[in-house]
């Protein structure tokens, strides 16, 4: 059996292949692997003893780092595995669009990232910066803006009443909740959904500003990126597709496809892995 994991900061999804056909799949709570492996578990995955090859693409994993501790951690859960491959979550996006000759692949979900990809291979990656220094356009940055609007009395009375009804926080308790949250990034990002409750003008302004920052950051780090088509993966890119396409249009940037999960193109991903990864053994 082959196991493919798409590990996001909020959730990780997995698909198991048996005899080259999809056998099982599921979703579990995610983690940013940069924050350590102690929060990474695989309890929801069944038949661990039968899995031979594992391909984990996770947020915060860097190919240039020493990932031996993570690989050892994985092998403890999958006793009979023959091989474990780990890399960052941008690579699985590149694999999802490996049928494209040359493009920019982007993630806009809880966090954000981008790279240039050629036929499934990552060529140039931006320094994403994380939620402290980067993550432009992400759920975290949008959620943070929503919370700032609430704290700074920029909501209308109707919006403020609705926010309190939905989440139950007054302003002081909200600040405490943020600092007490087990995962600050995930907690703040969850409030990005409230954008849909804001008036059209405010929502448009917030989305356009953040997506503009995203494209500007990519163009400054990857020379010539504005001449390539973008392909996106991620919950925020998917939910706010119209706003993302509008921001791109205003900067003369073309977007090809936007999908919520790389697994929407799992056949392309698995075909690439079978052809290009497993022959390396």
Q: Which residues pair with 124 in a beta bridge?
A: 116
> Does 45 reside within a domain?
yes
Average pLDDT over every residue of 93-119? 94
Looking at per-residue pLDDT, the higher value among 276 and 15 belongs to 15
Looking at per-residue pLDDT, the higher value among 133 and 15 belongs to 15
Looking at per-residue pLDDT, the higher value among 147 and 70 belongs to 147
Look at 39-43, 98-102, 231-235 and tell me which has the smallest mean pLDDT: 39-43
Most confident of the ranges 96-100, 180-184, 275-279: 96-100
Rounded Cα distance between 75 and 157, Å, is: 54
Nearest partner of 218 among 87, 96, 108, 61, judged by Cα: 108
**What CATH number has the domain bearing residue 273?**
3.30.420.40
Q: Give the pLDDT score at 27.
A: 84
> Does 201 reside within a domain?
no
Give per-residue pLDDT as tens, 183-240: 888 899 999 999 999 999 999 999 999 999 999 999 999 999 999 999 999 999 999 9
Q: Give the pLDDT score at 185.
A: 86
Q: How many distinct structural domains can be found in the chain? A: 1
> Does 251 reside within a domain?
no
Rounded Cα distance between 45 and 13, Å, is: 10
* Mean model confidence pLDDT for the chain: 89
Q: Give the pLDDT score at 252.
A: 94
Q: Give the pLDDT score at 79.
A: 87
Residue 136 reports pLDDT greater than 90: yes
Q: Which residues pair with 14 in a beta bridge?
A: 5, 26
Q: Give the pLDDT score at 9.
A: 65
> Does 185 reside within a domain?
no
Distance of CA 267 to the CA centre of its chain: 20
Q: Give the pLDDT score at 204.
A: 93
Nearest partner of 10 among 150, 253, 183, judged by Cα: 183
Average pLDDT over every residue of 101-126? 94
Do strands 103-108 and 230-233 pair parallel, antiparallel, or not at all (unpaired)? parallel
> Does 82 reside within a domain?
yes
Look at 25-34, 134-143, 159-168 and tell me which has the smallest mean pLDDT: 25-34
Dihedral sign for Cα 80, 266, 142, 126, please: positive
Rounded Cα distance between 196 and 42, Å, is: 34
With a CB cutoff of 8 Å and minimum separation 6, the contacts of 86 are 56, 57, 58, 61, 67, 70, 71, 74
> Does 271 reside within a domain?
yes
Domain residue limits at 39: 2-94+263-280
Q: Give the pLDDT score at 105.
A: 97
Residue 260 reports pLDDT greater than 60: yes
> Does 16 reside within a domain?
yes
> Does 48 reside within a domain?
yes
Looking at per-residue pLDDT, the higher value among 9 and 204 belongs to 204
């Amino acid at each position: 059996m082959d196991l493919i994991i798409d590990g996001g900061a909020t959730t990780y999804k997995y698909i198991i292949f048996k005899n080259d056909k999809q056998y099982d799949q599921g979703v579990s709570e995610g983690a940013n692997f940069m924050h350590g492996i102690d929060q990474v578990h695989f309890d929801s995955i069944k038949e661990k003893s039968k899995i031979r090859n594992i391909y984990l693409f996770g947020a915060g994993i860097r190919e240039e780092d020493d990932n031996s501790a993570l690989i050892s951690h994985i092998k403890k859960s999958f006793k009979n595995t023959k091989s474990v491959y780990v890399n960052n979550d941008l690579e699985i996006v590149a694999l999802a669009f490996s049928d494209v000759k040359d493009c920019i692949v982007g993630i806009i979900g809880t966090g954000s990232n981008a790279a240039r990809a050629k036929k499934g291979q990552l060529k140039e990656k931006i320094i994403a910066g994380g939620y402290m220094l980067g993550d432009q356009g992400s759920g975290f940055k949008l959620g943070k803006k929503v919370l700032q609007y609430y704290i700074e009395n920029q909501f209308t009375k109707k919006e403020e009443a609705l926010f309190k009804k939905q989440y139950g926080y007054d302003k002081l308790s909200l600040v405490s909740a943020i600092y007490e949250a087990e995962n600050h990034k995930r907690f703040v990002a969850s409030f990005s959904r409230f954008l849909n409750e804001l008036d059209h003008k405010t929502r448009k302004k917030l989305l356009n500003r953040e997506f503009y920052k995203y494209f500007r950051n990519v163009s400054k780090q990857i020379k010539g990126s504005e001449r390539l088509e973008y392909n996106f993966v991620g919950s925020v890119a998917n939910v706010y597709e119209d706003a993302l396409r509008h921001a791109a249009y205003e900067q003369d940037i073309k977007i090809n496809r936007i999908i919520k999960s790389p697994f929407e193109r799992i056949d392309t991903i698995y075909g690439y892995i079978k052809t290009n990864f497993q022959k390396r053994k």
